[in-house]
Structure 1
């Protein structure tokens, strides 16, 4: 067999690119190894130039340093050229071949020495070269590895690179292309050698601009704020440094100081112009003066009367650099005053009211918005026409004003007729002391029949004393102010004074709100009066509920007919509607609804229900479910007591309670009966009662009205869960597992409660009422006896006791009974803590709750 033909061409031709890259990497390695000292020197030189070292050297120092650096660079370059050698292609092939297993590149360039004539040898050699070619195809050029650490044991190259990095971040890299700045500003030595100058520009402090050293300013353009102070100092004989300027008015001339060798000049820049300084170091400055505009103050809107009677006037001020002070001035607008009654005579002269405007403590004062708040409710001009003017001033002394704005000076409004009368008499007396006889006469008219007019007889006595002072020989300004103070205090007592009778307080709140609607009160005042009406109404309803607690049946607001009944929810809805109408500006509709609420509350009285039985099937279903719930709780209590004592071998435990006459009736097929356990196991007796309750629940569900809605479906699911829990409890009682039975009974009780709550909401949605079903199982709202606030749930007090028949508060059952007395204790503590945190509750009640927590919640 003839030998295989040799591989055509260069066997390494496919690897030309990896070989070239390997050779380039070797070239970079040798360059770095040879010239790294030269590169480090270049890095150091760049760092020095970037930090402007030439600017800090003298005229003869920088060339010496540059020459030394150049000589050192030549020496290092020669040393590098002496060591540098360009790598050959063979060295690159060997370097690349060393990175591959088996050195395939060398195998491709080898030739067969022995056995060229042997066909088997030639075939084996061809197979070997094919495998080497496959390995060589995966060759990748290695990265440069200069390995400079052994050649630079002191890390000089690292220091040079660190300097370059710092220069790039903190220096001025572009400064290497600019020559050193010369000549430098004259110093003290140069000033002593010949004529020289120095200059400073100090902008006004309020601008916040920094001062300038004019000798160090580059260029001729100089932009300064108006009012900048320019100071110059000239060294040498007088007149040796020519000076001319056109920025001050009039032009300033230097003054001789310090023995005639130094002249100083201070001037104020008032206009744009030119400053020319002659001499060897002279300069020319073209000054552009930035004019300072005057401040501006605006009133976004006029002040509205707040409920507390304070003036709250928002304003907005702005200036180029910032406002430094401001003032508000209030003057009486006599032309706009209704000059009738006590205001018909000329008023006594009073100075205008002035107030300092509030300015931002932090932040910019160039543009800000603030609110001036002042209490002028006791001032004689309160609620009278006045003119309000705001003025602000900047640092230059320029002022800006808002102009006169006409408005009624906000003051407290009194809606009680008696208080309003006293306030009007007080205003007339402060208007002028000539009104003293008229004020005394009107006070005598008010006190003609004081019985029933004032809540306390001391008020009438105090007014009689003031009449005597008014009718005296002379009324001094001090005595007048004292009388006015007494009238003010009495009016506040009549307006705010706590009436003990809740109905009178509610009616008073309604009258004050009506008066506010008629007089066009502000939104803030109406909101405050509306809150007072809600609070007074809640107190009145609470009084009705407390008055009915001693009755056998629960309180119902209104008559016995459904059309005349009203719930706490409906009262709250009416007041919410009144507030909505007032917020929308529909005062007539709000007044009509308020009158309707007043008539309704006047006719409200406590009537007796019918044992909690509703007029329809919904009320009957609620009552039956409530009875089932009570029987389930009683059965759970009996099971708990049975678990606490040892079982008796004969007879029924005498502590077990049997269903009373009002309890659920057993069906004919219900077994075992409640009394069957008299001769059997006590657990079987409890299981029979549980079975009877389960059958009774099924009967009641069959008689329930068909309702739609999510609440009805939730009620169905809850009652299904109650039935399943009852079945589980019955089975556990049959098996003697009292612990498991108690757990299932607790689930049944919770499910019954949820079913009652959801059924009540479903009936309310169906009938459009806030409460469906009366008496024991009527739905109430937690936290308010009237159903005014909170979450709907069964009427139970915080101790976990169910209300008695007809919503009677309290129960005859033992508090230590139940499905989980420890859970009840935790719930009670949580409820006390929640009520203690409610700031809306009266302080005496919160203090009592805190004492309870201190006594029982502290471990």
Structure 2
């Protein structure tokens, strides 16, 4: 009883899906059985509507009719033979096969065993209820109408495509002429007189459909210029004729008016008539096609890197096909002074292709022209920008010339800006070559006082010599030499402006100078933002360098007038500085920048006065390495000056070239130390430790003297390496390995100096100084580890992390969490910082956390 009830209820709910499934099965069988029938019908109707039977021979029409009729009957008979209407049981089976566990079959089953047993019957009833619940979820089974296996060549789609083409370009009325084609003369009135047909096809770029003239009533007719007219005349020759004045043809181009097939393009307004029985006449006029237009959308925007962007808007009736921008020098507005006094060399205007929208309608669109002209000699000079666009018909439109100064990369370093100005003058006219060489020679007269990056001095001198040689040549300065020198000057200026300075303090001063220069020159907000980012990064590097150089065993002595500033307060000062510059309050911004500069200098003095007494072995080794590095830098400077003498023989050394900045002990080398400060000693009259003069003839150091001093520096470095603390630890071993590499490079430098190979010696000395710096960094890490282990042994908590905050700092002594100690040292700090940032991002993405915590995490991500 329970089974019958569940089955009846399931059947009542399954009536609709069962009926739809059955209809779908009938559609499947109908499609598979009769698809050739409708394919043949589609093909036959397409042939008739296109009028192909009218031009074909009568025999071909008869053969086609017999073949198509026979095939239609054969496939129709075969389809009727194969087609079977699906039964209810078949639909039931298909529906049941789509359900899990075949619940419909289960409802039809009887209990095989356990009849009469109450427990067994209860289980069976529960099973039926479960199957009835599954059956209640039944939905119709979608029919499978795919017949690609029966029609592998897709003939049905070919026939359908032909029918659609006939509906678009043919005529249903042509089906009535099939009788004429099969039995000529049986048509009566149509066969008795002439007929015609014609089309007008507008150009493809207009996107307009073709016009069938037989369906257009006589009267006015607007068509685009360039439309193609095709006419066909049927019947007795001469019964119909064409009369037109719209093609503009003349002479031999004109076809006979009674020709059976005629074609021409509409080039002007006029009259189109078909004279004769059933003829018509139209007054054809040219549809308006306005020329395209383009106009700038806003002002030119310049990015901090020098790249410019200009938005523009273009419009046309049928769509813009191409566009270009022309930048021409506005000679009348150029201030003719300095190197611009002479007449410029002929230079073609700048032509650039305008970007066209890839997707969408080109009849009205907005795009952005983005280009970088930083290397062009017209940068900063007044120019005119003219935008031009064209359409498919060849019409052009242009914008009103827009006056502007050609954007490009700005140089805030004074020397870099001067070099770029001379590069512009050189490219302005080759006749400026002599003047440019004189200016560059005058600017670089005292290189130690002007050129911060010594690596740019030699390339600049090489470019200068190359320029002077080109000017002195018989034919004057050639175009090839002009371009070569201009490219070299560009590279030198970029290096001076954006060079990677190794010393953090120098990098900080450089960033402050560039920012001050930008404020004085009225930089844009983008340039200010870029320079502020550079200042922030330089300040962070400088603070990190101070933290590494600070003696971990000594606390700085604070006086009652000492002021402290936290990282957050420093960040607030920088944000305030950027805000003042963006608001145009230059005076206040300059005052705040000067205060920030003084604060950094005082911080440097305070740090430099620490650690002068009570030093441990690690501090002594660090100080010895610092002195060795400083002396090596001074020795390298002297070798560099000797190399300069090779290029400028007989030139007197400038002030500060031969004696400034001696080593800490006064016996190793002169030049600039790695802090950029100058010493007070002079080269002449100084002696080495053995009491022998260090200079050669005329008080100038020779290569052998430099080699001897290089050997003494190598011995001092070897002694420091042998007595280096931190043996057995990974940082200590790394420091020893770095100093070993430095000693080897010093040995190579000594050999090069003995052979008077100054260029090779400079390279070896540079590698030696880099190795010493690596050793100092590793030694600092080793000292930090020793300090941490020593503090852990004293407190009995060497392995406990409970007294450190998440950033690795010791807990404060006054009850606050965190202290003013430096963060964990070494390369591992970057991994820890990255892991910490990833953890913050992960937690900020967990929406189930309290909103207060999510807001805090978001503020952390915004800041870092």
Normalised to the residue count of structure 1, the TM-score between the two structures is 0.49
Q: Greater CA radius of gyration, 1 or 2?
A: 1
Normalised to the residue count of structure 2, the TM-score between the two structures is 0.49
